[in-house]
Structures are given as C-alpha cells and as structure tokens.
Structure 1
Amino acid sequence: MPKLSDRVNTFTDSVIRRMTRISNQYGAINLSQGFPDFDPPKAMLDALAKVAYKGPHQYAVTFGAQNFREALARKQEKAIGRKINPNTEIVVTCGGTEAMMSAMMTICNPGDKVMVFSPFYENYGADAILSGADPIYIPLVPPTYEFDIRLVEEGFKAGAKAIIVCNPSNPCGKVFTREELMAIGELALKYDAFVVTDEVYEHMVYAPNKHVCMASLPGMYDHTITCNSLSKTYSITGWRLGYLIGPAEVIEGAKKVHDFLTVGAAAPLQEAAVTGLNFPETYYEELLELYTKKRDRFLKGLDQIGLKHNVPQGTYFVMIDIQEFLDLPQFAGFTDLEFCEWMIKNIGVAAVPGSSFFREEVNHLIRLHFAREEKTLDEALVRLEKLKELL
C-alpha cells in the first residue's frame, strides 16, 4: 500500500468522541461529549415538521439559504454592533467545526504560524495542521486560566498570522474580559494579523461575567473572523448548522473553501432554524437562567462530594482535579485517560481526560459537562459519590 499523508500521523482521533463510544458501550452517564439530553425548543420542532412535507429538500445556495443568512445577520449584528451584509459577510457551514476549518484554510498558507490558547478544544490543533499551519501554544494557567499577554506578542513577533480565541472557552469555561480582548486586538492590529474567534457558547456566560465579541471592538471587524454555531444555543448539535462572519474579502475566500469541502449545509434544517433565529431576547435570557441553575446545582453537588473543581464563568463545562485519586496506590501509574476509562466502567460516569486539551504536561484534570436534565445530573452525582469511598 502507498504511504499515507504524513499529517494524519500528527494527531489522534477525537478523544471526546472516543469517550462517548466507550460510555455507550458500558451504559454510563455521558458527561464527556457536550450535547444536551433534552429537546430543542418546540417552535423549532414544529417548524421542522412542516418543512418535512413542504420542503425545501434540495440544495440551498452553497453559502447558505437567503432567509437563513438574513436571520443570522439580524441576530448577530446586535452583538457585533454594526450592520452585517448577509450576502457578502456570512457563509453558512456544516457546524462550527467546519466554520473553523474553513476559516483556517482561507487565511493560512503552508508554514504559517497560528497561536492557540492551551487548554483548547481539541479540533484547533488539528485544524492548524490540516491547513498547513504550525501552531504556537499560549498557556491559560489553571485554576483561573489567566494568560501572559507578553507571550501573545512574542507569538506575533515570531510571525503568527492569527490567534484563535474561544470565548467562552471550551474546556475551562473562561470568559475573556473586555480588557483581555482589547489587549489581544491591539496586538493583532499592530502586527496586521487575524483573530479567529469561536463564540459557540456566547449565550452561556454567568453573572457577573459579560460576553464581548472581538469583532465589536474598535478597528477589529476587518481583522476578526467569527466562527459560531446554532448547536448549543438551540440544543440542536445534530443539525450541524454553523457559520462564519467577517469582512467581505475573507468571506469571499471562505465561500470557495466551504463549497469544495461540503457544498452546503442541510437546506430543510436551515429553513426550520430560521424560527429559532427569530426568537425574542427573552429566549436567551431564559436559556441563561436554565444553565445558571444547572451549573449551580452541579457545582453544589460536586462540593458536597468533596471533588475539587474550577468555577466556570461560561459554557457548560467544569474541570475536576483528580490528583488525590491518582496518588492512591491502586491508580499508581495511571494517566488521566486511563482514569476516565476506569470511571466509565466502575463509576458509570464518562468524562474527558484533560490531557487531550492541554499542550502542556497536564495529567490531573478531567472535564465534565452539565448540559443534562436535573434527574440525569442528580444520578451522575450519586454515582460520583462512590469516589469518596476511595479516599
């Protein structure tokens, strides 16, 4: 057999999705891969039912159905603080994953450098490699996940063409402050670079924290490519509807990349999702209230068990410190991955090993999520109580 591409040997399959497969095998409660176990809004389901018979069922315009792009523009121009041209400044993708890949392939030439904050959603490193770029990792230091802006400037001085900012951040739940984003933006302007943002969790930001779009900051619209998705906001991770927003010249390039990657997102799902994009502001307020209650309930349960964790400022993820368990004789030599596999089989709860998110040598953290119904979270906490018996 001829030799395969060298790039496929530079990263593994998704550890997150692997944990789901193992969880399914053993019937564990899946708190690893971040998707809800409750239905999307009824209005969107009703719209989808109508679309099933009325259509459309054939290709939409490759870069997104007209009414879908117009609805996206209306919704997002509030956050970005300017009018968005739905015809020249938006491209609809097959989920946020393809949005990020399209952005990277649009701006990167082989050998370009791209900065990535660590910990990072595992796709970012692979995206950089697949687009021919070399990643430079900037540490977000636990437990507060702050960073040294001097390292960001060093990356730009080293020739980084872009920096990826996930805000709020998966996996650690960090919400970048306006001051932090301004500092990053000023450097991007100084070195004539791009900021590629992932803002999938924009509506899950817990008080007193505030979500700030990088593209809304002074001078940053022309230097920012905003990647986003409907998956988390409307609990439709399986619909795979994402999008890019950015300056027309960038989006024109991204349209071509997207066209040859996937042709286009599903036409009937775009049609049904317009209903969600037209929801009033109260929907997002209620969504935040829902996830705030889930976060508080889950963190309280973790505290009662005695598990050490951070307090996420956004997203629905929480990082758990398992060092005290790894120090026990029965886990001598265990990696965090092996501990997660042991948890699935013996505790009945699936988590993601933190090492899959960090470039640094981090083996003592695991990620859980709380996008579950209350009864599911309560049962997961009951199972996690078994960990106390080990100490």
Structure 2
Amino acid sequence: MSKLPNIGTTIFTIMSQMATEYNAINLSQGFPNFPVDKRLTDIVARLAAENVHQYMPMSGFPPLLEKIAKLTQQSYQRTVSPKDEILITAGATEGIFAAIQALVNANEQVIILDPSYDCYEAPILLCNAKPIRVPLNDNFTPNWETINAAANEKTKLIIINNPHNPTGKTWTESDFLQLEKLTDSFPNLIVLSDEVYEYITFEQPHISIHHRLKLWNRSIIVSSFGKSFHITGWKIGYLIAPEHLMKEIKKAHQFLVFSVNSISQAAISEYLDVVDVYSLGNFYQQKRDFFRDLLKDTKLELLPCEGTYFQAVSYAAISSENDLTFTKRLVTEFGVATIPISPFYANSKDTKCIRFCFAKDDATLIQAAERLMKL
C-alpha cells in the first residue's frame, strides 16, 4: 500500500524528458545553462587536492556557518547564531522536508498557498498530517480572507514562498502585516518561508521574514546556494531558525543526510569572500527584460515578473486547450519545453498559464523566441 498514492512523476521530470526526446529547447526546469563563475570552479579545483573529503559537522562547516551569519547581518540586519540557528542542508528541498518532519505531528494541518511548488505536500502526508491547499488570488497575490478562514487551532504551519515559484510574484508590506495578524490569532502557528530566490528580485527590494522581528521566534527561512550561484546540481542550501525550532529540525536532518557534501561547503565558504550576491538581481533583470522584449510580438500575454528567473505567460489568446495539452504540443510541434501551471494546484486548476525559465544564455532565449513567434 502506497504512502503517497496520489503522487507520481513530477511535471518537471516529464517535461525535461520530453525536451530530450524531441530535441526541444528546455525552458521548463529551473536550471541555468550558462557557465558557473570561474572563481568558484577554480576554488573547487584547488580544494579537490586538499583534505576536505571527509564528513563535515552535522550542522555544517563552521567557517561557512560564520559566513552565512555575516551575510544575514549584511542583507537583513539580523544577528543569528552560527552554532544554534543555522543548518546547512542538501538543497532547499531536504531542508523543507526535515523541518516538516521535525515539527508537524499526525492530524495537524499545514496551509499551502496554491499554485505551490511540489515538494511541500509529500512530507506533510508522510507525517499523517493534513495539507490545506488555499488558492492565491487570480493575480497570484495572497487572499487573506481565505487564508484566515482556513486557519484554526490545528494549524501547525503555514508555508509561504516569496519570491514565488512558478509565478514570479513577490509579497508586499501589507501581506506581511496580515501574516503577523494571523500568527497573533494562533500563537502555536509556525511560518516556513521558502525564500530560495531571495537575491533575485527586480524593481522592488525583497521583503524577507528576516525583516520581521515579530516573526523571528516562530519562523524557519529556507535559502539556496544552488539558486543564488547557478549551481543547482550541487544541491546545497541552508535553514535559519530560532534555536528551539532548529534543535528539533537537526534531529530529523541527521538521519536524512547527517552532513552535507564537504567540498561544496568548503568551496562556498571561500567563494562568499569574493562574490557579490547583490548583483544577482541586476543580472537576472537584464535576462528578464531581454526575454520579455523577445516575446512582446508573440500572441502570449506576459504576466508581471517581480522576482525569480521564471516568466509566467497566458496563452488564452492562442488556444482553449488545457495547459498540459498545450505545453506538450509546444514541445512536439514547436520545439520549446515549458511548465504548465495547473500541476501546482491541488485541484489542477487550469488558468491557461505556463512558465518559462529565462536563466539561459542569450542564444537559447533568442532561438526559443523565434519558435514561439510561430504560435
């Protein structure tokens, strides 16, 4: 008997496999196709000959923990304890899994805001807890009326994702005030804030849970070096949480991976001394603007993109097909792989929207746009 009877192959795997099968341009899965910073690869090459190949401490490489604390202070003016409040994880996904397994009990409830990334629900179900899927508004902003109506004394966790995958929307000051009101109403409610695209925002600066002093003691913030440094295959991220929550999360983490890849931790620790994370927003804004300009003469309607490296579009003016059928036809007939939005909803809601990843080199984006002009 399956513990996860309704969970199958992810849409990301399906679309990437189709991209390979049909030799299509892959703008589906969220990974860059341009080179990693040579400064980082040079560090890795040098470290490969050094003694950094054995287990790291369970919480993480101490110099890296110190660097993360310094980065958090610089970015958010928040002081965190490297020893007690930071955990290096095997990607953001493992961090999310460990946090949910550690903190959510059977029969408790977890609010997820749809459309939502697919790694949130499975660990909740494995806890014998209940995911409560609450749709965002049609413009992908939080609907606080429905969120408040969904919360009750059994609600252990609310998972937020800002900047938002798959839509590229970001939260406003007003949203955080509403979140704080919600936590005031339910003193045992914990916030799990997925902020893996925190350094990839555009016109408006990123507002983080780190900025919300009122929420520090009851929040877990998820970050990703893979997203920030174009090294998604390294699968390395980190959590920041108050000691009383982190103590529990570490208990689960130690039996998932114990410690994270040693050479990647040592390399990132050195790299943080030379890289400017604050240039990421400008780098990806140029990519976003370039891609949007390429698409402006297509029949696709460009939706707002405020952060991440994803561009959501509506194809309603082109076809009445459901988004899964439309994206498969995009691969087979036009040679471009994208991601439909409906799999991000519990009820597979079809909004006639699809998601492109623009974290690609210019030649790839130009070639994709040429094909999309034929729609």
2:75 is matched with 79
Partner Cα distance (1:37, 1:112) in 2: 41
More helix by share: 1
Aligned: 1:322 with 2:315: yes
Moved over 6 A (4+): none
Aligned with 1:336 (options 323, 344, 350) = 323
- Match of residue 362, structure 2, among 362, 368, 374: 374
Counterparts of 1:199-348 in structure 2, within 5 Å, are 199-207=195-203, 209-279=204-274, 283-327=276-320, 334-348=321-335
* 1:198 and 1:227 in contact (8 A); partners too: yes
Alignment of 1:191-206 (within 5 A): 191-192=186-187, 193-206=189-202
Q: Does 1:102 align with 2:98?
A: yes
Size of the aligned set, in residue pairs, is 373
Q: Mapping of 1:13-92 within 5 angstroms?
A: 13-92=9-88
Give the % identical residues. Answer: 31
Conserved 8 A contact 2:166-2:355:
yes
The answer to whether the Cα contact below 8 Å between 1:138 and 1:147 also exists between their aligned partners in 2 is no
The normalised TM-score by structure 1 is 0.91
Q: How large is the Cα RMSD of the aligned pairs?
A: 1.6
- The CA distance in 2 between the partners of 1:129 and 1:51, in whole Å, is 40
2:337 corresponds, among 350, 359, 362, to: 350
Is the 1:96–1:242 contact (alpha carbons within 8 Å) kept by the matching residues of 2? yes
Paired residue type of 2:81: N
Q: Against the structure 1 CA distance between its residues 239 and 377, is the aligned structure 2 distance closer, same or farther, given a 3 Å change threshold?
A: same
Equivalent in 158, 175, 183 of residue 178 of structure 2: 183
Secondary structure at the aligned position of 1:219 is classed as helix
Q: Does the residue aligned with 2:249 lie in a helix, a strand or coil?
A: helix
Q: Once the 2 structures are TM-superposed, how far is the Cα of residue 158 of structure 1 from its aligned partner?
A: 5.6
Equivalent position SS for 1:22: helix
Q: Which runs of 5+ in 1 are unaligned?
A: 328-333
Q: Write the letter of the residue equivalent to 1:220.
A: L
Equivalent positions of 1:106-185 (< 5 A) are 106-142=102-138, 144-157=139-152, 159-185=154-180
Render the CA deviation track for 1:270-302: whole Å, top value 9, x for unaligned. 10111232345xx23432211111111111222
1:359 lines up with 2:352 in the alignment: no
* More moved, 363-372 vs 219-228: 363-372
Query: Would you say the 8 A contact 1:118–1:140 is kept in 2?
Result: yes
Q: How far apart are the structure 2 equivalents of 1:55 and 1:342?
A: 51
Q: Secondary structure at the match of 1:59?
A: coil
Per-residue CA deviations over 1:306-344 (Å, capped at 9, x if unaligned) read: 2112021111111121233333xxxxxx53222212211
> Is residue 110–residue 133 contact of structure 1 (8 Å, CA) maintained in 2?
yes
Structure 2: state its 5+ residue gaps: none
